[in-house]
Amino acid sequence: MVKKINDLKNLIKSRNVKRVAIAFGEDAHTLKAAEIGIKEGLFTVTNFARQAVVEDIAAKEHIDTSLMKIVSVKGELEAIEKAVKDVREGRADVLMKGICSSANYLRGVLNKEWGLVPQGKLLSNVALVETGGYHKLLFLSDPGVLIKPTLENKVQQIKYCVDVVRKIGIDNPKVALLSAVETVNPKMESTIDAAVISKMNKRGQIKDCIVDGPLAMDLAVSKEAAEIKGVKSPVAGDADIIIFPNIESGNAVYKTLTKLAGAKTAGILLGTTAPCVLPSRADSVETKFNSLIFAVAVSGGK
């Protein structure tokens, strides 16, 4: 059972070695995260970047880039295209953003000719969070891509997240649909969406999980709060997956957990044909490494 992000390593080691394609890995944090994973036998790496720049950084930071394959490119746009195509054409299993801009990286992922998002698919993301204040891992959707998800979007987010958590051995996960209150309020759209989606789950329209909502954040993660408020819910205090009503609430919770609660985090894009890592350029080595092993752990095949 995976209870901590570090537990993903054992899961990965029980499977075939996966291949990571890095788009413009020209920063010390990305290169170090890649080096750690390669040395631990968790994945192999092809880095699409300017070789001279990579070698200069590696020399200064004492990173052994001989462990990875470096495909030299002229700039970030070429790096993104080649890395995305490496995944699309089956030479790599996971895509990772290096120091290139997020906007250019996403344009590559979404490219209609050679990108990784099938027509009609929803692009979303999920953050994996490990915090000392909660008894298991939390999967947060969507703190970074979907601005104001519709009811249909939320259903798709649930299906994406359920598929992800089942791939790391969490069966029948509990899903909390977040709002500010626990009762349906016609003036609060998120409460209506939550009630409808919960009913869809009870009627078998959303499978392989237990869904409840609307639930405020305290109820989703605290059984004591639910008992005090007199709310009976199979999800309260034991949620695996949190579905946010909008990007503001998701982003605020995610950043509060990381910056004030010292949570360990990882994140990947969903809706793509293969897991895609979209770290911030300022993310630490640990966060980039965590995102890499999260992506590798949920990539297809054994």
Q: What is the CATH number of the domain that holds 162?
A: 3.40.718.10
Verify that 54 and 105 share a domain, yes or no: yes
- Contact yes or no for 17/92 (Cβ under 8 A): no
Domain for residue 265, yes or no? no
Residue range 262-284: mean pLDDT, rounded: 93
Domain for residue 267, yes or no? no
Verify that 64 and 135 share a domain, yes or no: no
Verify that 177 and 289 share a domain, yes or no: no
Burial of 250: CB neighbours in 10 Å, binned 0-12, 13-18, 19+: buried
Confidence of residue 301 (pLDDT cuts 50, 70, 90): low
Q: pTM above 0.85?
A: yes
Give residue-wise pLDDT tens across range 61-91. 999 999 999 999 999 999 999 999 999 999 9
Concatenate the DSSP letters of all residues of the chain into one string.
Answer: ---SGGGHHHHHHTSPPEEEEEES--SHHHHHHHHHHHHTTSEEEEEEE-HHHHHHHHHHHT--GGGSEEEE-SSHHHHHHHHHHHHHTTS-SEEEE-SS-HHHHHHHHH-TTT-SS-TTPPPEEEEEEE-TTSSS-EEEE-SSS-SS--HHHHHHHHHHHHHHHHHTT--S-EEEEE-SSSS--TT-HHHHHHHHHHHHHHTTSS-SSEEEEEE-HHHHH-HHHHHHHT---SSTT--SEEE-SSHHHHHHHHHHHHHTS--EEEEEEESSSS-EE---TT--HHHHHHHHHHHHHHSS--
Give residue-wise pLDDT tens across range 87-139. 999 999 999 999 999 999 999 999 999 999 999 999 999 999 999 999 999 99
Confidence of residue 300 (pLDDT cuts 50, 70, 90): confident
**Arithmetic mean of pLDDT over the chain:** 95
Any idea what the CATH number is for the domain that residue 113 is in? Answer: 3.40.50.10950
**Count of CB atoms within 10 A of residue 204's CB?**
7
Confidence of residue 252 (pLDDT cuts 50, 70, 90): very high
Domain for residue 264, yes or no? no
Q: Which domain holds residue 244?
A: 124-259
- Contact yes or no for 151/243 (Cβ under 8 A): no
Domain for residue 31, yes or no? yes
